[in-house]
Copies of this chain bind each other. A is one copy, B any other.
Amino acid sequence: MSAEFSLPIRVYIEDTDAGGIVYYVNYLKYLERCRTEFMRALGTDRAAISDEGWMFVVSSLALTYRQPAKLDDQLDATAAVVAVKGAAIQFAQSVKRGSSCMVEGDVTIACVDRVSGKPRRLSPELKQQLEARMQNKETST
């Protein structure tokens, strides 16, 4: 995988609103689909981690909306790891149509215990995989 992970997204009518554009909330679904496929590519799918008693939750996000996407648009959602902490991962993410940017910003997800909701340290394996992706980024881009 290259440093920036990318997932193609088709805009369906379910994604739009009466303004004739993609409802701003739905870009967050695109961003999460991309993070999910990124984690799956690393071998960490959500069903698996759920069985192990933990889950990822979004702890913060900061997004800027640049321009609207429309029905039938073919978009790309992107995700790149920018920081790995004890129990959290920070991603730089975007949704693009070709070279045009619809939305961009940062999303931080935290690893928490499924029952207590308390933070839980990332496994060393996952931490290592994520850091390797960051090093890739520095050297290959």
A63 at the interface (CB under 8 A from B): yes
Is A61 within 8 A of B62, CB to CB? yes
Secondary structure type dominating chain A contacts? mixed
Count of identical protomers in the assembly: 4
**Smallest distance from the beta carbon of A72 to chain B beta carbons, Å?**
4
Is B29 within 8 A of A28, CB to CB? no
Q: How many residues of chain A get a CB closer than 8 Å to chain B's CBs?
A: 41
- The 7 nearest A-B residue pairs measured at CB: A16-B18, A62-B62, A47-B72, A24-B58, A25-B28, A14-B29, A60-B64
| Residues of chain A at the chain B interface (Cβ within 8 Å) | 10, 12-14, 16-21, 23-26, 28-29, 32-33, 36, 40, 45-47, 50, 55, 57-65, 67-68, 70-72, 114, 117
